[in-house]
Every structure is written in structure tokens, then in C-alpha cells.
Amino acid sequence: MFPLCPGPPSAQLGTTPNIKHIVVGRCYNYITVVNPGLRFDCEDIWRQFEESVVRQSSFNVTVDYHRMFYATPQTWPCDRCLFWSKTKRLVHSYTAVERHFWTLEDTLVGYMFNDLVWCGQEEDSGFDFSSCPAWAACRHHPVYSLWRQASQNFAEMACGNITVLLNGSISNAFNRKSMFGSVELDGLDPRRVDYVNIKVVTDLEGPFIESCSQGSVVDLIQILRSRGFRWTCTDNDETLMILQCIQNPKQSSCQKCANSFSLRRSLTFN
Ligand code: N1C
């Protein structure tokens, strides 16, 4: 059985226009501004990527990116890895505030390919800019294959305390078919990882479907236990709730918070 993946909305579109300029530009930005001092050959990385995708004439074969990964070796410190599932938007506002966390998009490969779409053509040797296969064929989808291989590497490297952010407003917050549930969880090594810290966050106004003691999160905890991981689980972490209030201050559950801020401000200014 292969996982069926919920696709990005752009899955039916063709390769992102100007993909080469975007990827090579992001690579230079990463090694020059984001992480100065890293020595990578951005042109070579692009070449390895392009060759993997365009050499692949059949959509029935999984694209093998190992040469590109070989050109982008990267290690990261323990205690920083942040995994997520169905919380992408929130997770990136969270890491913007909690800066010690690292998601896959903070690694070079994740940074270069985030939000892009690509595929080769059956008969031609270039990218297909007019359409790419539907995400339903995801096991062989070139975008899915890259995230799968990147996610596998990311999980295998994780060490110390790691964190997982799950969405408590959907059922199956922990989904065995998701990238986290099918690839990353199995890639984690209990000898390298001290604690798995689960954070379940709901939308401010609900629905409140899953929590640390309810739904699929309980299954995740069971799997972690059986594999010998130590774990913690937190419902509605305060920082995550405040971040949601900043994005949507009119929500009624934010009013208490807003009132206490305005009270404090009036105390300061009066
Ligand atoms: O299937 P998911 O979530 O559980 O995958 C998320 C999980 C994270 O922990 C990441 O480390 O897998 C990693 N990852 C990405 O970082 C990533 N960035 C963009 C996996 N997928 C990623 N994408 C795209 O989002 C990709 O197209 C993939 O299929 C979706 C997964 O999102 P999800 O279902 O919310």
C-alpha cells in the first residue's frame, strides 16, 4: 500500500514558471544571507535536480533525487527539529517567533523547493510547464518523491528533544498516510531522540475534535510508547493560541487576552 496524499492546490498546474531562477536564487540566498558560511555549489545542485526529473521519462517510476541530496549534505543541531502535519501555515508563524525550532523548510533542500511544483515530460527532455500529473498518483509524483526523501533524511537526523505540531480541529490529526505518519515517524530513532513533544492545537473557535487524550493522537502516543520513545503532549500551547489571536484578533476567545492588554496599556499610559 502506498500513501494517498492530500495534494497542494496547485498539483494540476504545470511546473512553476522560472523554476530554475527561483531554485538557484533561493540556494544563493540561503548560503549567503540565511546561513552564511555554508559552502554549496548551487549550479551543481540545480543540475543534479534537473537531471533527476527530466531524465525520468515515465510517470510510473519514482524520481530518485539521491544525487541532489548527495550534493546538499547538511547536519543540524539536536533539540531543534519541529515536525508538523496539517498545520503548515501556523508552524511557520510559530518558528518565526520561536526561532530555535527548525522545520524541513529551514534546511537547504526544503528552503529551495518550498511551494514549488515540477514534473518532466513523457517524450521530451525538459520540464512540463503546461500540466503535471494529479496528486492522486502521489507515490510517483516528482514533488511528492522529493518531500518524501527529504522528510526521511530530516527524521533520521533528528536528535534530542523533538516537537510535533498537530491539528486538533480535524479528525485524524495523526494520520498514518501523511508524510509525518508514514515517513517521519518511522524514520525517528529512539536511540537518538530523547523526547517527542507533541503539541495539539485547535482553531480558536473550534471545532475541537482531537486532543492529547482523544482521537488519533492517542494512537500516536501508543506507537511512541511501543517503540520506546519518551514523550509529552500539550493541548493548546499558549504561544500558539496567541499567534492565532494576532492573526485574527476579533475572535471571541481572543477578547480576554485583548482586554487584558488594553487594560495594561491604559495602566501604563494613564
Ligand atoms: O503529510 P504531512 O503534512 O504530515 O507532512 C508534513 C511533514 C513535516 O513534518 C515536514 O517535515 O513532512 C515534512 N514536509 C514538509 O516539510 C513539506 N513542505 C511542504 C512534508 N511535506 C511538505 N510540503 C508539502 O505539503 C508537500 O507537498 C506535502 O505533500 C504536503 C504535506 O502536508 P501535510 O499533509 O499537511
Check whether the bond before 77 is cis (ω within 30° of 0): no
Residues recorded for the chain: 270
| Catalytic site includes residue 159 | yes
Q: Which residue has the least CA distance to atom 7 on ligand 1?
A: 180
How many A from CA of 179 to the centre of ligand 1?
A: 6
| Catalytic site includes residue 78 | yes
How many A from CA of 147 to the centre of ligand 1?
A: 7
CA atoms within 13 A on the CB side of 226: 8
CATH number for the domain whose boundaries are 11-236? 1.20.82.10
> In the structure grid, which three cell numbers stand for residue 109, read together?
533542500
**Helix, strand or coil for residue 67?**
helix
pLDDT of residue 136: 59
Q: Is 180 in the pocket of ligand 1 (CB under 6 A)?
A: yes
| Alpha helix segments (H runs only) across the chain | 19-29, 42-54, 66-70, 88-97, 108-113, 142-157, 179, 185-187, 216-226, 238-247, 252-269
Q: Which residue has the least CA distance to atom 31 on ligand 1?
A: 179
Q: Is 65 in the pocket of ligand 1 (CB under 6 A)?
A: no
Tell me how far apart the alpha carbons of residues 5 and 85 are, in angstroms, rounded to a whole number.
12
Taking phi first (over 0 means left), then psi (-120 to 50 degrees means alpha), and beta for anything else, what does residue 115 get?
left
Which of ligand 1's atoms lies nearest the C-alpha of 83?
9
How many A from CA of 128 to the centre of ligand 1?
A: 23
Q: Is 83 in the pocket of ligand 1 (CB under 6 A)?
A: yes
Choosing from 145, 147, 149 the residue with most ligand 1 atoms within 8 A of its CB, the one to mutate for a pocket test is 147
Q: pLDDT tens for residues 90-136?
A: 999 999 999 999 999 999 999 999 999 999 987 778 999 998 887 75
Q: Which of 5, 81, 138, 159 is catalytic?
A: 159
Contact 219, 242 (CB under 8 A): no
Q: pLDDT tens for residues 235-264?
A: 999 999 999 999 989 888 888 766 665 655
Q: Tens digit of pLDDT per residue, the chain (270 long)?
A: 334 444 444 446 899 999 999 999 999 999 999 999 899 999 999 999 999 999 765 567 789 999 999 999 999 899 999 999 999 999 999 999 999 999 999 999 999 999 999 999 877 789 999 988 877 556 788 999 999 999 999 999 999 999 999 999 999 999 999 999 999 999 999 999 999 999 999 999 999 999 999 999 999 999 999 999 999 999 999 999 999 999 989 888 888 766 665 655 554 444
Contact 237, 97 (CB under 8 A): no
Q: Is 177 in the pocket of ligand 1 (CB under 6 A)?
A: no
| Nearest residue to 45 (alpha-carbon basis) of 64, 75, 17, 20 | 20
How many A from CA of 4 to the centre of ligand 1?
A: 13
pLDDT of residue 139: 75
pLDDT of residue 217: 98
SS3 track for 95-152: HHHCCCCECHHHCHHHHHHCCCCCCECCCCCCECCCECCCHHHHHHCHHHHHHHHHHH
